[in-house]
């Protein structure tokens, strides 16, 4: 057998690289041990992508403020949080609305498959529409939230609610002169 002819190869002269001193010779190997982060209990919103971003959901037992311009989806997000809580996680919810009528809310979310009337009937949801007469408040000069808290507490107790939405906090104060002029 003859060896196949090969084209002569020319290899550039290789320079010997200075060998790096092994780290193990310099210092003993230290394996960093990750410190476990303390876990904050979370309540899943039921909105898959959002729960991934939030590392499990919204912090349980704490208020979360949702901010954004008109029409950006605050009400829909809050409604989904309550509806998914009731349907997926057995956590009844109270949705207290200061701006929208119950019928508007129900109609809006019916088209995305949420049946609010059914949840209300099964005592999984309380939809409480609160009308605040700012003119009355300005005339009487008195404004405190005690009555509202009693009403909210009653709604929570009536179904053992675990999730509560106030839509929106801003409307409680927006028409009051002090809200615009803190001085």
| Contacting residues for 166 by C-beta, under 8 A, at least 6 apart | 96, 98, 152
Instruction: Considering only the stretches 21-29, 32-40, 67-75, 169-177, report the one whose residues sit in contact with Mg ion under the rule CB under 5 A.
Output: 67-75
Residues 89/46, Cβ–Cβ less than 8 Å? yes
CA pair distance 146, 66, nearest whole angstrom? 23
Residue 165 is given by DSSP the state: E
From candidates 45, 46, 57, 75, binder to ligand ATP by CB under 6 A? 75
From candidates 57, 75, 83, 124, binder to Mg ion by CB under 5 A? 75
Quick one: tokens of 60? 């349980």
Map residues 76-105 to x or -, x wherever contact with ligand ATP holds by CB under 6 A: x-----------------------------
| Contacting residues for 134 by C-beta, under 8 A, at least 6 apart | 175, 176
Q: Does 112 bind ligand ATP (CB under 6 A)?
A: yes
Residues 17, 22, 27, 33, CA torsion sign: positive
Q: Does 113 bind ligand ATP (CB under 6 A)?
A: no
Nearer residue to ligand ATP within complex by CB, 110 or 145: 110
Using CB atoms within 10 Å of the CB of residue 33, give its burial: 0 to 12 exposed, 13 to 18 middle, 19+ buried.
exposed
Q: Does 111 bind ligand ATP (CB under 6 A)?
A: yes
Q: Does 80 bind Mg ion (CB under 5 A)?
A: no
Q: Does 70 bind ligand ATP (CB under 6 A)?
A: yes
Q: Does 165 bind Mg ion (CB under 5 A)?
A: no
Instruction: Considering only the stretches 66-74, 124-132, 134-142, 147-155, report the one whose residues sit in contact with Mg ion under the rule CB under 5 A.
Output: 66-74
Peptide bond into 178 cis (omega under 30): no
Instruction: Considering only the stretches 74-82, 84-92, 129-137, 142-150, report the one whose residues sit in contact with ligand ATP under the rule CB under 6 A.
Output: 74-82
SS3 129: strand
Binding site for Mg ion (CB under 5 A): 74-75
Binding site for ligand ATP (CB under 6 A): 68, 70-76, 108, 111-112
């Amino acid at each position: 057998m003859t060896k196949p002819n090969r084209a002569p190869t020319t290899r550039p002269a290789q320079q010997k690289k200075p060998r790096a001193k092994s780290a193990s010779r310099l210092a003993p190997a230290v394996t960093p041990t990750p410190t476990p982060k303390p876990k904050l209990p979370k309540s899943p919103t039921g909105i898959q992508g959002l729960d991934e971003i939030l590392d499990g959901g919204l912090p349980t037992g704490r208020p979360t403020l949702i901010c954004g311009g008109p029409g950006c989806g605050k009400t829909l997000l809050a409604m989904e949080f309550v509806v998914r809580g009731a349907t997926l996680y057995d956590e009844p919810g109270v949705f207290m609305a200061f701006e929208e009528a119950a019928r508007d809310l129900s109609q809006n979310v019916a088209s995305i498959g949420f049946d609010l009337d059914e949840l209300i009937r099964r005592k999984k949801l309380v939809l409480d529409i609160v009308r605040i007469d700012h003119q009355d408040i300005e005339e009487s000069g008195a404004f405190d939230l005690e009555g509202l808290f009693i009403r909210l507490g009653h709604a929570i107790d009536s179904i053992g609610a675990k999730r509560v939405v106030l839509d929106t906090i801003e409307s409680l104060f927006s028409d009051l002169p002090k809200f615009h002029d803190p001085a």
